[in-house]
Structure 1
Amino acid sequence: MRICDRHGCDEPGNCPAPKSPNNPDRWYFCTNHAAEYNRGWDYFQGLDAEEAAAREAGERRTNAGYAQSRHHGWAGSGDGSRSRDEMRALDVLGLEPDATFDLIRATWRGLAKANHPDVRPNDPDAATRFQQVQAAYEVLRAAEEMRSTQRA
């Protein structure tokens, strides 16, 4: 068990805190001393106002995906950015949860051509498979359109 790094404290030190900005070394404090340390922490220490604003804007831009997908945290596989319907549609197409839309489109075209009832007139299940593939693609296409409008 690690002891708090604050001099004279015998509590467990289970709260890591950086020793200085952009430094991988960490202090390990108890909960009370971690709160005290964080009150005085300045993430933008050493930066002028313009550099601090640029860093904040850059980090807000790159972490937007986390806030957007936060409500999918309870879901199963994937990174949480896809709904349950999208995951089912990906299963129908036989793709992984992190498939790009270009891969989705290419897979859909191949499966639609292979299972089209006009191409397989003697296969009674071809129409059903074709409809499943079409429905899966429509779900994924609509989700991609929604994501692209949210990004803009």
Structure 2
Amino acid sequence: MARSGRSIDWGFPRWRGYEAGREAQNVRLCDRVGCEEVGDCPAPKSPNSPERWYFCQKHAAEYNKGWDYFAGLDAEEAAARAADEQRENSGYRESAHYGWTGSGDGSRSRDEINALDALDLEYDVDFATIKKAWRTKAKEVHPDVKPGDDAAAKEFHKLQLAYEVLRAAEERRQWAGPAGE
């Protein structure tokens, strides 16, 4: 009689022993002294270094809090590096209008941060505060209030653009709904 080539690992219940595949998993712990959490977030030990620390999420956030990616660069070099990164991530940037892009942690884009800086606001303000600050500042430099003043007209245009960026971002957030929907 011919022996069947079928393994014993088919159907229900599984006919193999439960001990199969139960070896211990290697888990890297957080590199922060005294932390017993899983260290699954790599962070560079120094700029342009291949060596990495491995932190838990809490300590990675603490480590990266003061990180300045453009530290030590003059304005021209920083602009060139930012342009290089935008060029490399153009597909991601093009897909932003679909609403599924973004970091997912509630952070704002660079354009939103620049717009908030133009309005002299903190980065975590709600849209009602943004609208109020925009109206207050726009009334001060409106061309009807200061006719013929080119500096006021430029400032009004800057405030108008900042508000449009923030309004569009708020509409995208409302359209996307809460996280997970």
TM-score, normalization: structure 1? 0.49
By percentage of residues, which structure has more helix? 1
Which is greater in Rg? 2
